[in-house]
Structure 1
């Protein structure tokens, strides 16, 4: 695997990044134990975890726009099992920028959406029985393809196969005759895996299909090492057969391009509809806020009216009380006046 491995500028960048910190350090640390947890290099806080942390941190600092995304660590881990960390960084950057893997880890994972759309149609075209079974059981292609894409099949295949697939991608993934380089090669491998497991898949239900595709099929590709001098992690006859079978698929570049345009058109339409929905919801929220404000104003006004009315009632009651008191005083004055008149009359007569 030589892609980018001799890039001295990238190697210098990697070494310079080691003492630095990135905004993603905490997230990277959380993901370390999830990356090849059974492999000696990475399990139980082994030295490989520290190396993987440095590599992921360096890439996060390199790609300021995207930073770090879960799943990158599997690609990086595959490289670290086969080369020194400085070389792994150079190859990782080359894979992301030149081979197109960066689209798997950008916000919104655009290549995952496109790849799922196209692979669903490839499945219908090349493996209709498997496609029919998946539809019958409610298995959406993205339910297994996302993991395959973002980890390069690492959880689902033995490491020799994963390494051989990586070699395959690095060897021919820059060919101008390929659709998106890496993506077409991925499609070929994925179709091969599903064709190899077609008989099992069509006999399974929802859970069984996903369990098979996400790990149980690994046994089919295990290599029984009978040569004590052979390296278990090296490409072998089984992995070679898998890659050779993948090479044999004839995928139409024009058809893939047509599906990409279709996907983009449907995506634009969905986004347009979603934008309209969001705009409508925003207007609804604004109207709701204004309605709530109006309700609050009405309640405040009602409270003020009730308060004013209460004060007015108190004043009326006070005036009524005063009026009664005045009436009583007037009655007393009338009586007193009658008495005075009587006294005056008596005095006048006497």
Structure 2
């Protein structure tokens, strides 16, 4: 990004300070169990004696990072950002909002509560990003995504994974003024709903419900505000593989599971109430999962993802829509047929 050239140019002497003078960031501990998955019994026992902060990023996060292409001096740039002084109104506003949102981030998880290592790491990553992209700064919703990344990765890797999502996966567009990215994704959701869930699309239209009314929060947080952090690996894993196509698929699967209930509702408030998923604990999320499968309490994330990936959705057409979206007019330029996409 153009506004970050100052950090990627030749490094001034003060950036070569000794480790003891650098901001200490290696006390963050990954919380996932990915290291022990598919490992032998002896290896799992051995890993129990290794401090979590020494494990760095888990194998999954390492794979995600390979798709983002961080710079070779990633650690140095991150440290420079933490140590740099910013006093712009935009940055100060970001700092204020970050402090407010820290306590709202996965409140049921001890690792992000009070003065925990997780909360401190989350603060540093969000502040560093506010300096990295000082034009955009921090926007509500980013906190859930970064926290979910920290669950699986080192602090530095979480920062660059988030940068990858913002730049390579076009997450930045949804936070820009006037929210062009949100408009694009919500219009695509409506197009897919028209094709795959026509009855529900008509029902929403009759009650003047547009997808921004229920999908905006899902979009801003990649479902992080509604999915417990321990389950977010399922979202992140597929999003890094499939991008926004996976996001749309999950939205359609959720709408499909709730279709009959939504069709039975005859009031906009009642309809939206069923789509306003919220969670304060693992128990609430499990209750919602039970609602999705009609009270059977047998639905697992693996099945939801399988349903999503089996949707008859043309990924090439999704890419075509993305390429032909005009952020200024908030419309798609679809005059040309999508050949050779």
The alignment's TM-score, normalised by the length of structure 2, stands at: 0.64
Structure 2: runs of 5 or more not aligned: 1-60, 279-283, 291-297, 333-341
- In structure 2, the partner of 1:9 is 73
Cα deviation per residue 1:253-308 (whole Å; 9 max; x = unaligned)? 33763587476695379xxxxxxxxxxxxxxxxxxxxxxxxxxxxxxxxxxxxxxx
- In structure 2, the partner of 1:90 is 160
Could you tell me how far 1:136 is from its partner in structure 2?
Answer: 2.8
CA contact 2:184–2:325 (8 Å) conserved in 1: no
Q: More helix by proportion, 1 or 2?
A: 1
Aligned counterparts of 2:322 and 2:161: Cα–Cα separation in 1: 30
- Secondary structure of 2:256 counterpart: helix
- In structure 2, the partner of 1:138 is 208
89 and 99 in structure 1: CA distance in 2 versus 1, 3 angstrom threshold: same
CA contact 2:144–2:221 (8 Å) conserved in 1: yes
Q: Does 1:54 align with 2:54?
A: no
Could you tell me how far 1:27 is from its partner in structure 2?
Answer: 2.1
* RMSD of equivalent CA atoms: 2.8
Could you tell me how far 1:135 is from its partner in structure 2?
Answer: 2.3
- In structure 1, the partner of 2:96 is 26
Map 1:1-350 onto structure 2 (within 5 A). Answer: 1=61, 2-4=63-65, 7-22=71-86, 23=91, 24-170=94-240, 172-173=241-242, 182-204=243-265, 205-215=267-277, 218=285, 219-221=287-289, 238-252=300-314, 253-254=316-317, 257=320, 261=324, 267=330
Aligned counterparts of 1:39 and 1:91: Cα–Cα separation in 2: 22
Aligned counterparts of 1:96 and 1:201: Cα–Cα separation in 2: 33
CA contact 1:112–1:149 (8 Å) conserved in 2: yes
- Secondary structure of 1:60 counterpart: helix
Aligned counterparts of 1:206 and 1:263: Cα–Cα separation in 2: 30
Aligned counterparts of 2:324 and 2:215: Cα–Cα separation in 1: 20
CA contact 1:3–1:94 (8 Å) conserved in 2: no
- In structure 2, the partner of 1:179 is none
Structure 1: runs of 5 or more not aligned: 174-181, 223-235, 270-350
Could you tell me how far 1:94 is from its partner in structure 2?
Answer: 1.3
Could you tell me how far 1:84 is from its partner in structure 2?
Answer: 2.0
- Secondary structure of 2:273 counterpart: helix
The alignment's TM-score, normalised by the length of structure 1, stands at: 0.63
- Secondary structure of 1:41 counterpart: helix
206 and 43 in structure 1: CA distance in 2 versus 1, 3 angstrom threshold: farther
Could you tell me how far 1:150 is from its partner in structure 2?
Answer: 0.8
Aligned counterparts of 1:7 and 1:221: Cα–Cα separation in 2: 40
Aligned counterparts of 2:306 and 2:288: Cα–Cα separation in 1: 16
262 and 13 in structure 1: CA distance in 2 versus 1, 3 angstrom threshold: closer
Aligned counterparts of 1:260 and 1:129: Cα–Cα separation in 2: 29
